[in-house]
Amino acid sequence: MTSANIKILIRFLLLIPLQVLIANHMRLFGYINPQICLLFALWYPLKKDISGFLVTSFLFGLIIDMFSNSGGVNAAACLLIAYARLPILKFVFNDRDLNLKLFKYSNYGTVPKIVLIFCLALIHQLTIYALEYFSFSHILSILYKTFTNSLFTTFVVIIFLSIFTSTKKQ
């Protein structure tokens, strides 16, 4: 096991309890829970071959599903953001030949980071609510909840990201 893998394992084991025991019990205005589990996808090292990332994200989501009794909703959402992370990253940071090895969040400004997190949160939340309601007649409340929840998630995740990302310049 390399140190990178151990880091991933520690995040895996810390973020799940954080999400299901604390974040899922916040219920701001009755329903807004920040999705701290986005951090797992954000912190996962960038690589060209993402099959390992897909499998771990799927398992990550599935365990959250077990805790919250929601079928496969979180697994589908986490898998989707794992797959969409790199294209969105390239698009938001406007960098087609992104250097995957030297990539650091601290090299970029706050605004693109917020846009990135908001995009991921939007995809994640939309998947969760769409699969949870599973009907077209609730489309308005799905969109409303997705939007408000994504806003709050972005706010919380950007704070976490700026606290726990090292700012040392290379």
Partner 1 sequence: MQFILYLIQKHRTFLLFFVLELIALFFTIQFHSYQKSKFINSANGITGGLYNSVTSFRSYLYLEDENTLLAKENSELRNKLSEQISIPVSFKDSINGKFQQKFQYAPAKIINNDFHKNNNFITLNRGKKDSILPDMAVINAKGIIGITANTSKNYTSAISVLNTNFKVNARLKKANYFGTLTWNGKSHQEVQLIDIPRQASLKVGDTIVTGGRSAIFPEGVLIGSVSSIQYQNNRYEKINVNLFNDVRNVTNVYIVRNLQKEEIKQLESKNND
Report, in Å, the least distance between residue 165 CB and partner 1.
27
**Closer residue to partner 1 (CB): 50 or 151:** 50
Query: At closest approach, how far in Å is the CB of 160 from partner 1?
Result: 21
Task: Kindly state the smallest distance separating residue 41's Cβ from partner 1, in Å.
Answer: 13
* Residues at the site binding partner 1, with contacts judged by CB under 8 A: 17, 20-21, 24, 27, 30-31, 33, 49-51, 54-55, 58, 61-62, 65-73, 75-76, 79-80, 83, 131-134
Residue closer to partner 1 (CB basis): 24 or 165: 24
Residue 95 C-beta: closest distance to partner 1, Å: 21
3-state secondary structure the chain: CCHHHHHHHHHHHHHHHHHHHHHHHCCECCCECCCCCHHHHHHCCCCCCCHHHHHHHHHHHHHHHHHHCCCCHHHHHHHHHHHHHHHHHHHHCCCCCCCCCCCCHHHCCHHHHHHHHHHHHHHHHHHHHHHHHCCHHHHHHHHHHHHHHHHHHHHHHHHHHHHHCCCCCC
